[in-house]
Amino acid sequence: MKIERLLRADTLEEAYEALQADKANTLLGGGVWLKQLNRKISTAVDITRLGLDTIEAGEDVIDVGAMVTLRDFETHPAIAGLGNGFLVDCTQRIMSVALRNVATVGGSVIGRFGFSDFLTALSVLDVTLVFYPLKKLSLEAFLHGREKPTGILTNIVIRNETGTGCFKKNANTLLDFARLNLAVFRHRGGYRIAVGARPGVAKRAHESMAYLQGRESLEKEDVDEAATRLVSHVKLGSNNRASADYRKTVAQSYLKRALQEVNGR
């Protein structure tokens, strides 16, 4: 990684113009993975000074600035209060406190990293990404849609809804990337389910969600069917961390356990 210049932007407009001016200019998030990039950056654009490091928690939504660190995110009472604290459970198992004091929420989203635990947990919530110049996109559309926004991600808006969440991760230690991760959120009408580190990026299991929609109490057959649909409809592949077969086995077990947990069993 080589960086020629740094722009300490004073406004979003200034940052945006710099990014549009040259493809070799890059926006900086927390910068944790910056050194691993094998590329040359002409102007690195720093938006640290733009006040995007606050969380506004209201009744309807929790509005998270893109430059909020993962540590500030996990220690915020509104985040702890959402879905029984499953976002805290997810975030606290990402490497170290010292890393999470550097890594940002925006950087964790915009990278669309396949290994991401954070995106899997967020994927079971109703999340809207806000870009400058003004553009809004759901997290799912951002991860899997055709449109690739070129603006600056400024806010991650999470609907503050009632429900119970659960996050599962398969990794040996805090410092390992997951071989597979899975999140479930039980809300009023049913369940949202997402799987990540497939090794592709987090994806919702729509067929399993549709099957469980509106079911008041889950029987063993329901859970088995949801698990079967999960692995037949969400692509799970092989890489150096795990085989597709291994991932399929783990994903089904995790879904069954997570469904039990969000139902208080």
Partner 1 sequence: MKTDIRINGQLKSFNVKTDETLLDTLRRHGYVGVKKGCDASTCCVCAVLLDDKPVLSCSLLTVRLEGRHVTTIEGIPETASRLSALFGDEGADQCGFCNPSVAIVVHAMAREGIDDENGIRHYLGGHLCRCSGYQAQLLAIKKFLGVTS
Q: Which residues bind partner 1 (CB under 8 A)?
A: 1-6, 8, 28, 30-36, 44, 46, 48, 71, 92, 95-99, 101-102, 174-175
- CB nearer partner 1, residue 21 or residue 215: 21
What sign does the CA torsion over 223, 229, 234, 240 have? positive
- CB nearer partner 1, residue 142 or residue 167: 167
- CB nearer partner 1, residue 48 or residue 150: 48
Find tokens 């991860």 and name the residue: 143
In whole angstroms, the minimum distance from the beta carbon of 32 to partner 1 comes to 5
In whole angstroms, the minimum distance from the beta carbon of 94 to partner 1 comes to 9
Say how many residues make up the chain: 265
In whole angstroms, the minimum distance from the beta carbon of 109 to partner 1 comes to 18
In whole angstroms, the minimum distance from the beta carbon of 181 to partner 1 comes to 17
CA–CA distance, 114 with 69 (Å, rounded to integer): 20
In whole angstroms, the minimum distance from the beta carbon of 188 to partner 1 comes to 33
Give DSSP secondary structure letters for 203-219: EE-HHHHHHHTT-SS--
Pull the structure tokens for residue 252: 């089904």
- CB nearer partner 1, residue 42 or residue 228: 42
Q: Closest by alpha carbon to 123, among 33, 31, 222, 197?
A: 197
Query: Exposed (0-12), middle (13-18) or buried (19+): which is 139, by Cβ within 10 Å?
Result: buried
- CB nearer partner 1, residue 105 or residue 212: 105
The amino acid sitting at 65 is: G
